Amino acid sequence: GFLAAARYGKDKIRVFRVVRDKDTKFHYIVEYNVTALLEGQIETSFTQADNTVVVATDSIKNITYYLAKTSPHILDPTRFALHLGTHLVSKYAHITKSFITVEQLRWARISEDGIPAPGHTHAFWRDGSEKKFVQIEIDGTNGKNALVAKVEAGLRDLLVLKTTGSAFESFVRDEYTTLAEVDDRIFSTSVDLSYTFAPFAIAEPSDDKKLAFSATNVGKEAETGGAWDGERISALARSITLDVFAHDESASVQATLYKMGQRLLAESGSVQTVRYVLPNKHYIPVDMKYIGVDNTSPYVAAAEVFAPVDAPSGLISATISR
């Protein structure tokens, strides 16, 4: 056999950062789970037990924490990932690619005196299990002066539910079909969304330690409202997902999913592809006919008590491309 591919690094680097604004006295926080992986001229570490080409995964962890302390981009997961990935490829001559994943846990500021904004200066609450993520690749295969970035971002575990405005009818019926057609049902899913941007060039940091990183390093990308403006795109994608889910008279999960993706492409010219993965969260009306109570049909009139069912569940996914 031969070594066809190799990659290594540090996984599950837990980062919590507090940024204190001295003027307003407000504190800002982020909590990240970071994965940082490297590729390059490292094959001999696998094939010849040669550790001289290995940047220790502990060093990768320490670099991540150092940049969490010093990077001006720490509150923006996309920019922080680009900063970290660019530094790793630029610093080590034999490393040609970095792969950075940043998963952000959701914290919200506690309201002050019942007023949601601007909220308490330094108190927060965990706002659900939803997570934002960004995955970036910095490719230095063609040289440190010709770095290319690829960015994918999105969200996971956004749990949504609506009690009407969803139907499922006219599907294939044959000898295996037991599912009844419904013109009104509960629609619930846990949204996993990812979207990609076109690759763009990154200028190598010009300082000796390869730490300096700003909008000038990404050039025109900072002007296009694309990946560098990732927080705005993230907020837009989430808003569109929730709005379409709430207001679409859904003929199926598939049809609603497609409308979500089309709208994000229409409203963000920098997004190239959109992928949704939507598992059905089933809520089954409890049959009470045995005691003379109608709790099954029609849903809007009679069905009010449901049994949540975790498994098995439908799983629908699709990619919509520009």
Which residues form the catalytic set? 10, 57, 282
Contacts of 20 (CB under 8 A, 6+ apart): 27, 28
Please give the structure tokens belonging to residue 85: 């990935």
> How does DSSP assign 49-117, residue by residue?
--GGG---HHHHHHHHHHHHHH-TTTTSHHHHHHHHHHHHHHH-TTEEEEEEEEEEEEEEEPPBTTB-S
Contacts of 93 (CB under 8 A, 6+ apart): 144
> How does DSSP assign 206-235, residue by residue?
-STTS----HHHHGGGGGTTSGGGHHHHHH
> How does DSSP assign 249-284, residue by residue?
-BS-HHHHHHHHHHHHHHH-TTEEEEEEEEEB-EEE
Contacts of 21 (CB under 8 A, 6+ apart): 27, 28
Distance CA 157, CA 183 (A): 27
Residue matched to tokens 């001295």: 22
Please give the structure tokens belonging to residue 146: 């010709």
